[in-house]
């Protein structure tokens, strides 16, 4: 997994800003640069740890799932961790 292109990081950063604004949440003591740095650090962490994630998967899933399926699975688990009532259409 490679780090995201700069344009994708910018889209994520803008999406986070819009999301928190819609919720009326504020990020006290943080600047836009701090949030941008958090996006970059998270992306770098995902890139640095993708091999460990892949190795942690059961062999059958690791061998047969596509890269997109593996990413979707991880993202869904993270989302459900913070929003347990998130609806997933199966």
Residue 87 lies in a domain: no
Q: Which domain holds residue 75?
A: 6-82
Residue 31 lies in a domain: yes
As for how many domains the chain has, the answer is: 1
Give the pLDDT band of residue 81 (cuts 50, 70, 90): confident
Q: Determine if residue 66 is left, alpha or beta; phi over 0 gives left, psi from -120 to 50 gives alpha, anything else beta.
A: beta
Residue 1 lies in a domain: no
Q: What is the mean pLDDT of the chain?
A: 83
Residue 60 lies in a domain: yes
What is the pLDDT at residue 64? 97
Residue 59 lies in a domain: yes
pLDDT for residue 65 is more than 90: yes
Residue 88 lies in a domain: no
What whole-number distance in Å separates Cα of residue 51 and Cα of residue 49? 5
Residue 48 lies in a domain: yes
Residue 24 lies in a domain: yes
Across 45-49, 57-61, 84-88, the highest mean pLDDT is recorded for 57-61
Region 5-20: mean pLDDT is: 83
């Amino acid at each position: 997994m490679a780090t995201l292109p700069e344009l994708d990081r910018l889209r994520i950063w803008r999406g986070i800003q819009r999301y928190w604004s819609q919720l009326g949440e504020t990020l006290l003591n943080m600047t836009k640069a701090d949030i941008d740095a958090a996006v970059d650090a998270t992306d770098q962490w995902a890139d640095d740890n993708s091999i460990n994630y892949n190795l942690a998967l059961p062999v059958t899933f690791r061998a047969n799932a596509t890269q997109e399926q593996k990413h979707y699975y991880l993202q869904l688990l993270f989302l459900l961790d913070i929003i347990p009532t998130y609806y997933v259409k199966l």
